[in-house]
Amino acid sequence: METFFTADEAKNQFENFRNKSWRVNQKEAIEWAMDSDKRFRIIEAGTGSGKTLISMTCGAMAGLSNYLCGTKLLQTQVANDFPEAKSLFGRNNYSCLLDRSRTCEQCISTKSSPCHAAHRCLYKLAKKETVESKLRILSYKYFLSEIQFAGKFTGAPLTVIDEADSLESVLIGHISLQFSERALYRLGLSDGPERKSATSKAGIEPWLKFGKIALDRSNEIIDRLENEISSWSEISNDYQLEQMRELDYFVHLSERCEMFIKNVDKTWEMEETERRGSIQGMLTFRPLWISEELAESFLWRYSDNWILLSASFLPLPVLCKTLGIPEDEVDYKQIPSNFPVERRPINLWPVGNLSNKTMDEELPKVINGIKKILSWHKGEKGLIHSTSFKLTKQIIEGVKDKRLIYHTPYDKQDVLEDFINSDEDWVMVSPSMDRGVDLPYDKCRFIICCKMPFFSLGDRITSKRLYSGPIGRLWYEATAMKAIQQSVGRGFRAADDFCTSYLLDEQIERVYLQRPSLWPDDFSDAITWGRNELIECEKIAV
């Protein structure tokens, strides 16, 4: 790949970093990535290695680049650290200038009633500025949607993907075709012969027929809504806004139906989930694995070169299988942690076996283990990884400690900010803070992983993958291992930081002992066992 600057010259373009020294192995990783003749450069770099500076320096050396990440939190953080780059979010993150109660995603501009403030639209201005920038910061989801339908960020010499271990789920979601109960009802496909013939055992011919019917009926709804909206002289009530939202939904659904019809084959799966309370049931068509052809069509062809970074990756054969990357086009480099082991101890204390069969019996032992750990860390903030909202509730109710706080699916960011800014010795219980969250120094002094974060075997896709062969079993255990690595990395963010981690599930110990090759040396070097504490927790539970 052609470069326009040296690593030092590129770093000096960034005001916040030009007077700072390189971290250990940082410059070496940058030069390795930019010198490689492989299309995919994969860098596994532990916490504190400075992945973001590696990413942005490589981007600056390439002359034009995209930097992709998975969360708004990380995107905002990177934009603050690198103001020379331009960051763009989805439309729903920008307020309408005419009505602050609406976002730009709810734009009411039409051909018959154009918005007179369009030239000042916050989203349009941000997009123009980002498109024209040499360094662009985007989310995975926005990038995938944009390159498929608008094409404004295609053709960059280099695209860097941070936290790339989470890319597969986003890519699968982008490729899949999904119908909510409401969508099926609106399309007239809730029941009837078309719906009944499209079963998980039917094969792709009924699926294709179903997809084509859904496409035709989506387009009929789009035509009707466009005709109605074009007749309005102005937009001034809730009904009109709802119709515009409906139009936007079916435009996207039509696009997905077209993608599905073009790409579905016998390797795809159909999955149905039932309604749970207020959460609608879903009908989903998706590939079991992302093939090289699918990955190339939906992602890899839109940039000349790729750098993928994460603190932990799946084993290379599994990683290539899940992302549709040819192994012969990959260069791989692991950067060891520069954090002293004694400042990041990982205590493997299996106080209970939280498998599905033994959960009810064993959870009290884990609850009492948490109580003991909390007593050791009075006056310190901590993070408890719970893997699910159900387990979060059980921990809150079982531990009964006023220090514990938690969030719902709807207020995570607000609760996290309160936690970070508080001087109280709060302990956050969360099923979804294993990545993209920085809690340095006194913001987090201890971490508890209650349960091995295996994917649920109640999920048909997970089960099919697991039993698809040796690589399926390796994928199943490696994904859980990777999540543990990510989880313990939330609380130590610098060489002079310290944070103690506790792993309480016997399932973690089992995989650690049976699959030692899955765990990096940096992780294994920090492991200790706590048998005395295990006995004490069991006595308490009895």
Give the span between the Cα atoms of 397 and 136, in whole angstroms.
45
The enclosing domain of 239 has a CATH number of: 1.20.1440
How many Cβ atoms from other residues are within 10 Å of residue 380's Cβ? 17
Distance CA 100, CA 120 (A): 14
Are residues 125 and 54 part of one domain?
yes
CB-side exposure of 230: number of CA atoms within 13 Å? 7
Give me 81's structure tokens.
């650290």
Nearest-CA neighbor of 541 among 334, 341, 358, 280? 358
Q: Are 75 and 90 in contact (CB under 8 A)?
A: no
Answer whether residue 440 is part of any domain.
yes
Question: Which of the four pLDDT bands, split at 50, 70 and 90, describes residue 484?
Answer: very high
pLDDT-derived band at 271 (thresholds 50, 70, 90) equals confident
Q: Judge if 363 and 277 occupy the same domain.
A: no
Give the sheet arrangement for strand 303-310, strand by strand. 86-87, 135-139, 65-69, 156-161, 303-310, 40-45, 330-335
Q: What is the mean pLDDT of residues 117-130?
A: 92
Which residues, in sequence order, are CB contacts of 20 under 8 Å at separation 6+? none
pLDDT at res. 539: 44
Q: Which range is least confidently modeled, 243-247, 348-352, 400-404, 528-532?
A: 528-532
Query: Per the structure, how many domains does the chain have?
Result: 3
Q: Do 263 and 243 touch, CB atoms closer than 8 A?
A: no
State the CATH number of the domain containing residue 437: 3.40.50.300
47, pLDDT greater than 90: no
User: In which band, very low, low, confident or very high, does the pLDDT at 53 lie, cut at 50, 70 and 90?
Assistant: very high
For the chain, how far is it from start to end, CA to CA, in angstroms?
63
- Are residues 200 and 226 both part of a single domain? yes
- Confidence label for 530 from pLDDT (cuts 50, 70 and 90): low
Instruction: Calculate the average pLDDT of the chain.
Output: 90
Q: Can you read off the two tokens belonging to residue 527? A: 């492991």
Is 432 inside any structural domain?
A: yes
Cα–Cα dist 4/225, whole Å: 50
pLDDT digits (tens, 9 = 90+) for 57-112: 999 999 999 999 988 888 999 999 999 999 999 988 999 888 888 888 877 777 76
CB of 271 closer than 8 Å to CB of 460: yes
What's the mean pLDDT in 204-225?
Answer: 95
Share of the chain above pLDDT 70, in %: 97
Residue 48 scores a pLDDT above 90: no
Question: Band of the pLDDT at 278, cuts 50, 70, 90?
Answer: low
Region 287-301 average pLDDT: 95
Pair type for strands 40-45 and 330-335: parallel
List the beta bridge partners of residue 286: 269
Q: Identify whether residues 239 and 148 lie together within a single domain.
A: no
What whole-number distance in Å separates Cα of residue 211 and Cα of residue 204? 10
What is the C-alpha separation between 313 and 34, in angstroms, rounded? 20
Nearest to 374 by CA among 496, 471, 500: 500
Residues paired with residue 285 on neighbouring β-strands, in sequence order: 177, 270
Average of per-residue pLDDT across 293-302:
95
Per-residue pLDDT for 392 more than 90?
yes
Whether 260 and 403 share a structural domain: no
| Residue 244: pLDDT over 80 | yes
Largest CA distance in the chain: 76
349 lies in the same domain as 495: yes
The whole-number average pLDDT for the span 466-482 is 91
Residue ending a domain, among 269, 303, 335, is 335
Residue 153's nearest CA partner among 143, 168, 140 is 143
Tell me whether residue 114 is in a domain. Answer: yes
Q: Do 153 and 244 belong together in one domain?
A: no
Length of the chain: 542
The answer to whether residues 477 and 386 belong to one domain is yes
Domain for residue 2, yes or no?
no
226 with 319, same domain: the answer is no
List Cβ neighbours of 137 (8 Å cut-off, separation of 6 or more): 67, 69, 75, 78, 79, 82, 85, 86, 87, 88, 130
| The pLDDT of residue 426 is above 80 | yes
Quick: pLDDT tens for 333-380.
998 777 888 899 999 999 999 998 999 999 999 999 999 999 999 999
Quickly count: other Cβ atoms within 10 Å of residue 401's Cβ: 13
Torsion, Cα 135 42 152 6, to 10 degrees, reads 30
**Residues 6+ positions from 136 with CB-CB distance below 8 Å:** 65, 66, 67, 85, 86, 87, 88, 130, 153, 156
Domain assignment present for residue 398? The answer is yes
Its domain, for residue 437, covers 341-541
Same domain, 219 and 350: no
Q: What's the burial of 470, exposed, middle or buried (CB within 10 Å: 0-12/13-18/19+)?
A: exposed
The residue from 309, 335, 361 where one domain ends is 335
Is 1 inside any structural domain? no
Quote the CA–CA distance of 537 and 542 in Å, as a whole number.
9
Instruction: State the DSSP string of 161-187.
Output: ETTGGGHHHHHHHHHSEEEEHHHHHHT
Query: Rounded mean pLDDT of 421-429?
Result: 96
Query: In the prediction, which pLDDT does 542 show?
Result: 35
E strand or H helix that includes residue 195: helix 193-197
- Residue 149 confidence class, pLDDT cut points 50, 70, 90: confident
Tokens, residue 93: 């993150």
Residues 6 or more apart in contact with residue 225 via CB below 8 angstroms: 243, 246, 247, 250
Last residue of a domain, one of 270, 286, 302: 286
Confidence of residue 538 (pLDDT cuts 50, 70, 90): very low
Residues 190 and 302 in one domain: no
pLDDT on residue 232: 83
Q: Quick check: 113 pLDDT over 80?
A: no
Model pLDDT, residue 540: 42
**8 φ, ψ to 5°?**
-65, -40
Q: Averaged over 233-246, what is the pLDDT?
A: 83
Model pLDDT, residue 522: 83
237: left (phi over 0), alpha (psi -120 to 50) or beta: beta
Contacts of 123 (CB under 8 A, 6+ apart): 91, 94, 104
Q: Which residues of 481-501 are buried (b: 16+ CB within 10 A; e: fewer)?
A: bbbbbbbbbbbbbeeebbbbb
Residue with tokens 């989506």: 218
Query: Would the pLDDT of 407 be above 60?
Result: yes
Q: What is the pLDDT of residue 166?
A: 87
Q: Give the residues across from 287 on adjacent strands.
A: 268
Is 500 a domain residue?
Answer: yes
C-alpha distances (whole Å) from 516 to each of 74, 481, 521 are 31, 10, 10
- Assess whether 36 and 181 both reside in one domain: no
Q: Which phi and psi angles does 536 have, rounded to 5°?
A: -65, -40
Q: What dihedral do alpha carbons 22, 27, 28, 34 form, nearest 10°?
A: 170
Q: Is residue 306 situated within a structural domain?
A: yes
